[in-house]
Amino acid sequence: MVNNKMKVYILAGVFIILVVGFVQFFLPSSVVSPASPIATSTPTQLGSETASTTAGNTENTQKKKATFSLQLADGDSVASWNFIGAYAGNDAFVQKANSDIVRLTALLGTGTYTDYTLYVSIANQYDLLGDGKNELAYLGKALAIDSTNTGLAWHNAGQLLARLGAYATARTAFERAVVAEPIGQYKLALADFLEAHFPLDMVAK
């Protein structure tokens, strides 16, 4: 009886050894690999780039165009070049006009708009500010570019000079606007001006 039990224990032990050996040799153990560190790279800082001004742009910016001289006619005089502009008394509008003058001036020579258009636009800002002297000066710059094919600067000069009381010079400007660009707007402005200040010179219809 004892011998039989011993045999059972021996067989059980052998069986356990065989099972353990089978697991060790035929079933590989799982390998846990350490987590790979995430590489973090710091991007190289780029130096700040300074925009270079081309020689052509520099020349355009620095180049000054001759001013068309619009002399007052004999007998004309201007008591004051300043008047009450549309923006008078409104600080926000005055600041806007001054900012627009700076912005428009920076566009001169860039080709974004014609310099003629920019000079007239700057003159318009001075008109809003009630600064007749600078307004006429910038209209003169526009006329230095084109005084024969476009009537806008002439027309605006006529309006300004009429406001300042220089009627003979204003008449010349209105007439030159019609000669340069004979459109209805300029013809009507000339007719209205002559009717108001030179009624005897109105052409009989």
Give pLDDT tens digits for 56-104: 443 343 344 556 778 899 999 999 999 999 999 999 999 999 999 999 9
- Max CA separation in the chain (angstroms): 157
Q: Please report which confidence band the pLDDT of residue 183 belongs to, taking 50, 70 and 90 as the band edges.
A: very high
Structural domain boundaries in the chain: 86-145, 147-205
Q: Given this model, what pLDDT does residue 23 score?
A: 37
CA distance 147 to 139: 10
Helix runs in the chain, H state only: 2-26, 55-62, 91-106, 115-129, 132-145, 152-164, 167-180, 184-197
Would you state the torsion angle of the CA atoms of residues 136, 65, 74, 165, taken in this order, to the nearest 10 degrees? Answer: 0
Provide the whole-model pTM.
Answer: 0.68
CA distances from 57 to 54, 63, 93, 113 (A): 5, 10, 31, 15
